[in-house]
Every structure is written in C-alpha cells, then in structure tokens.
Amino acid sequence: MFEHLRKRCISRGVHDLGILADPNSRGFYEKMGCEYKHEYPSTINNRTTPYLQLKMKKANIKLNSDS
C-alpha cells in the first residue's frame, strides 16, 4: 500500500509528503523511507506527535498507467 502511495504521488508531481504520525508508528514510517523532522503539538493535552517527511524518488519506481 505504501508503494502505491509513492507511485500516485510521483505520477501527480508531488515531491514531498508530510506525515503527522501516531507516536507508536514512527518506526514504521522511518522504515518506509520517511525522515523524522520534529515533534508537532497534539490536540491531546501534554502530548506531541512526530512529523515526518517522505521525499519522492523516481528511481526504481515503475509507473503503471492503471494506478
């Protein structure tokens, strides 16, 4: 599913994707190639949420016309 997201972003000219993640999912997004940027204030008192960024790379991604 994450690879599909990458392909869709690239096909639409999106170069970076910002993600506000659940604190428990930060490791997953980092494994998917996202870079941790900073903590972002949460709507929940005394809590923050990680902000990550995914930079799109055209290399090694074949775009499919039926995406």
CA-to-CA distance for 63 and 67, rounded, in angstroms? 8
Amino acid identity of residue 12, one-letter, is R
Q: Which pLDDT value is given to residue 58?
A: 59
| pLDDT, position 60 | 47
Are the C-beta atoms of residues 8 and 44 closer than 8 Å to each other?
Answer: no
Q: CA-based angle 27:30:34, to the nearest 5?
A: 145
Q: Give the pLDDT confidence score for residue 34 in this predicted structure.
A: 94
> What does the pLDDT look like over 1-60, one tens digit per residue?
888 988 899 899 999 999 999 999 999 999 999 999 999 999 899 999 999 999 987 544
| Residue 35 tokens, joined | 């870079």
